Amino acid sequence: MPLHFSASLPKPAFLRPHTKSFGLGLVCVGLLAALAACSKHEAAPEPIRAVKVVTVALGNIGSNLEFAGEVRAQTESALGFRVAGKIIQRQAELGQRVKVGQVLAQLDPQDYKLAADAARAQLAAATTNSDLASADYKRYKELKEQNFISGAELERRDSVLKSAQAQVQQAQAQLASSGNQAVYTRLVSDVAGVVTAVSAEPGQVVAGGTPVVKVAQDGARDVVFVVPEDRVAGVQLGSAVAVRVWSSNTELAGKVREVAASADAVTRTFQVKVSIDPKTAPPLGTTVSVLPQSLSRAGVPVIKLPTSALKQEANGTTAVWLLDPASMTVKSQQVVVASADGNEAVISSGLQPGMQVVAAGVHVLAPGQKVTIYQQKTTPAQSASAPAAMNTVATPVAAPVSAAQ
């Protein structure tokens, strides 16, 4: 049966709302929300980075300028046929040693033999005409002595004879030329040496003078290398050069024999030739290292920095971080790199001896950032723990002796 309460009677406590407590709770929640919205989270302070620094000082360059060179013969002859034709045979091979008079290649000589035959026939005809003109002149000369002909007729016969004799000489020269051309169909080496290049193959039609074989003559040897424009002025004729063979690491002495008068059209470098003793020269084509003494930089005082200290600026320049010992902050300093010395950069301007430069971690620093100097941690000595470790090893126990023994 449901309960009915009278309006005059008070309601039970569990049915009466706690209006005062509920309102106070809402006010507290609102204040907490407002405080949470107004409060700002303070950023954690950036940790002070530890950096490695080096003190700028003058040092000596330990490396020399080194160039890659190649051993070549002082004289290389590009041999070719003196006449045009089709190559029917090539006896020379790359790397082959040849002698004076050795046949290197052969053209088809048939056309030149026919030309020689034609020249020989022309010579025979010219000789016959000359003999006939000579006989006529002799007869007319006798008639002139008997006054049967005039002097003008004799002079005419003399002119005919001289013309016939000239035709004979022309035919003889033509025959000699045709004979020479037939001989020129054989490419013969006029020097002793080694074949270093082959430019034509059998079946190929070549023009007169086209290089077919290149022969490096025996005798003097050169080391050929190139230098850039800014170094060619330091290479003097007759200056000493050290030549180091890559394969055997042996060093040879040489002298500058020739410096190119103009730069290469493509590489813009200057070719330099160094003469070496042919008795100790390595084989042709050997790659060597060339160290010109006139370009030596050993002992020159310069400022050097490890390459890890360099950084690239947005404008393309090179800079380093300088440490201010008073405030222990860093600032950027622009420098000019002249060259490299091993794994170090040679600085030409921007630094003075005594400055401190950050040597590592340059890409995580900012101007004015506070830093500390990195101190290498020392590891505790392990010698003290070694005896303790030895004492923990169990000593082997002897086996018990049997009672029966």
The model's pLDDT over 133-170, given as tens digits with 9 standing for 90+, comes to 999 888 888 888 888 888 888 888 889 989 999 999 99
Q: What pLDDT is stored for residue 39 in this prediction?
A: 52
Q: Residues 342, 62: contact at Cβ < 8 Å?
A: yes
For 146-282, where are the alpha helices, taking DSSP H only? 151-183, 229-232
Q: Residues 96, 301: contact at Cβ < 8 Å?
A: no
Q: Is the pLDDT of residue 255 over 90?
A: yes
The residue out of 240, 271, 295 marking a domain boundary is 295
Binned at pLDDT 50, 70 and 90, residue 298 comes out as: low
The residue out of 237, 272, 295 marking a domain boundary is 295
Give, as one character, the DSSP assignment of residue 370: B
Whether 2 is in a domain gets the answer: no
Q: Does 358 share its domain with 306? A: yes
User: Which tokens hold the place of 244?
Assistant: 């180091």
Out of 179-183, 358-362, 400-404, give the one with best mean pLDDT.
Answer: 179-183
Distances (CA, A) of 146 to 33, 136, 153, 154, 155: 159, 16, 13, 12, 16
Q: Does 358 share its domain with 342? A: yes
Q: Is the pLDDT of residue 107 over 90?
A: yes
- CATH code (residue 271): 2.40.30.170
Q: Does 289 share its domain with 220? A: yes
Residue 57 to residue 63: CA distance in whole angstroms: 18
User: Which tokens hold the place of 218?
Assistant: 């025996």
The model's pLDDT over 192-229, given as tens digits with 9 standing for 90+, comes to 999 999 999 999 999 999 999 999 999 899 999 999 99
Residue 241 to residue 254: CA distance in whole angstroms: 5
Q: What pLDDT is stored for residue 36 in this prediction?
A: 53
Q: Does 332 share its domain with 350? A: yes
Give, as one character, the DSSP assignment of residue 112: H
Q: Does 288 share its domain with 307? A: no
Residue 201 to residue 224: CA distance in whole angstroms: 29
- CATH code (residue 116): 1.10.287
The residue out of 127, 162, 183 marking a domain boundary is 183
Backbone phi, then psi, for 320, in 5-degree steps?
Answer: -135, 165
pTM of the model: 0.55
Query: Which residue segment(s) compose the domain that 320 sits in?
Result: 301-373
Q: Is the pLDDT of residue 299 over 70?
A: no
Give residues with Cβ within 8 angstroms of 55, minimum separation 6: 354, 355, 356, 357
Helices 110-145/151-183 angle, 10° precision: 160
Residue 97 to residue 79: CA distance in whole angstroms: 15
Considering only residues 294 and 369, tell me which one the structure prediction assigns the higher pLDDT: 369
Whether 23 is in a domain gets the answer: no
Whether 327 is in a domain gets the answer: yes
When the pLDDT of each residue in the chain is averaged and rounded to a whole number, the result is: 81
Give, as one character, the DSSP assignment of residue 362: G
The model's pLDDT over 322-374, given as tens digits with 9 standing for 90+, comes to 999 888 899 999 999 887 777 788 888 888 899 999 988 788 888 888 888 88
Closest Cα to residue 331, out of 297, 280, 283, 365? 365
Considering only residues 44 and 312, tell me which one the structure prediction assigns the higher pLDDT: 312
Q: Does 353 share its domain with 309? A: yes
Q: Does 260 share its domain with 315? A: no
Q: Residues 218, 123: contact at Cβ < 8 Å?
A: no
Binned at pLDDT 50, 70 and 90, residue 403 comes out as: very low
Q: Does 314 share its domain with 283? A: no
Q: Residues 273, 223: contact at Cβ < 8 Å?
A: yes
Residue 403 to residue 92: CA distance in whole angstroms: 97
Q: What pLDDT is stored for residue 208 in this prediction?
A: 92
Least confident stretch, 291-305, 306-320, 383-397: 383-397
Residue 274 to residue 289: CA distance in whole angstroms: 12
Percent of the chain's residues with pLDDT above 70: 80
Considering only residues 376 and 346, tell me which one the structure prediction assigns the higher pLDDT: 346
Q: Residues 192, 99: contact at Cβ < 8 Å?
A: yes
Q: Is the pLDDT of residue 231 over 80?
A: yes
CA dihedral 12, 15, 16, 18 (to 10 degrees): 130
3-state secondary structure of 143: helix
Give residues with Cβ within 8 angstroms of 254, minimum separation 6: 223, 240, 241, 242, 243, 274, 275, 276
The model's pLDDT over 259-283, given as tens digits with 9 standing for 90+, comes to 999 999 999 999 999 999 988 899 8
Binned at pLDDT 50, 70 and 90, residue 8 comes out as: very low
Q: Is the pLDDT of residue 398 over 60?
A: no
* Number of domains, the chain: 3
